[in-house]
Each structure stands twice: as C-alpha cells, then as structure tokens.
C-alpha cells in the first residue's frame, strides 16, 4: 500500500496510469484507510507478506526531493527480502515527506 503521491499538479491516478502500476489504484476519499493504517506522511509505504502481516514500513529510498545516483532502494530491497523469506528487514528507516492534510482538521 502507498499513501499519497501527487506531483507537479498530476493526480495519483494519473501518475499510476502513466507509470503503468501492476497493482490496483485505490483512492481513499474519506481518509479512513490511511487513519486505520496509521499513515503520517506522503508517501508512506507499507509492505506485507503472503500472510498479510506487516513486514515493512519505511521510505522508498535514500533520495529526498531530488534523485540520488545509486541511492539505496529500501522499499525494493525490503520487498525482495519479504518475497524470499516472508520477513522484512530488521532495520527500517521511516518515510519522510509532507504531513497528511486530514480533512476537517485545522492546521
């Protein structure tokens, strides 16, 4: 599951179509799903094993706003490990991004 990814005026759905994501794109209109998962920023990545047990919650990679050449691909590596062993990495670095703008809240 990925929480949030709008960039440069494009919607999540447009980005998902452009990048041809091989998984369903869902829009959380009420933000109930994000709240239940405990999402705190965008993007926030959650990786599960075949038993639907959370194995990874962390960043995409070591890049920030700009790509970093040869950046460590945390999410990719974590999900490879989950696919091979059923377990995520012991050490995980949290996602960092914009805080979620919760509907109905005053900031």
Q: Which letter does DSSP use for residue 37 in this model?
A: H
In this predicted structure, the answer to whether residue 104 has a pLDDT above a threshold of 90 is no
In this predicted structure, the answer to whether residue 19 has a pLDDT above a threshold of 80 is yes
Beta strands in 16-75 (DSSP E): 41-42, 44-48, 54-58
Establish whether the linkage from the previous residue to 4 is cis, with ω within 30° of 0.
no
The average pLDDT across 47-65 equals 92
Higher pLDDT, 7 or 82: 82
| Phi, psi dihedrals of residue 16, rounded to the nearest 5° | -60, -40
Question: What is the b/e burial string over 10-31, where b = at least 16 CB atoms within 10 angstroms of the residue's CB?
Answer: eebeeebeeeeeeeeeeebeeb
Q: Which residues pair with 98 in a beta bridge?
A: 42
């Amino acid at each position: 599951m990925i929480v949030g990814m709008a960039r440069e005026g494009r919607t999540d759905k447009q980005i998902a179509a452009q990048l041809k994501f091989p998984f369903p794109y869902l829009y959380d209109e009420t933000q109930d799903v994000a709240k239940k998962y405990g999402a705190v920023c965008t993007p926030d990545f959650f990786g599960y094993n075949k038993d639907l047990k959370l194995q990874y919650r962390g960043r995409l990679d070591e890049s920030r706003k700009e790509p970093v050449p040869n950046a460590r691909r945390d999410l990719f590596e974590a999900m490879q490990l989950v696919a091979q062993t059923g377990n995520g990495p012991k050490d995980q670095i949290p996602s960092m991004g914009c805080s979620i703008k919760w509907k109905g809240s005053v900031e």
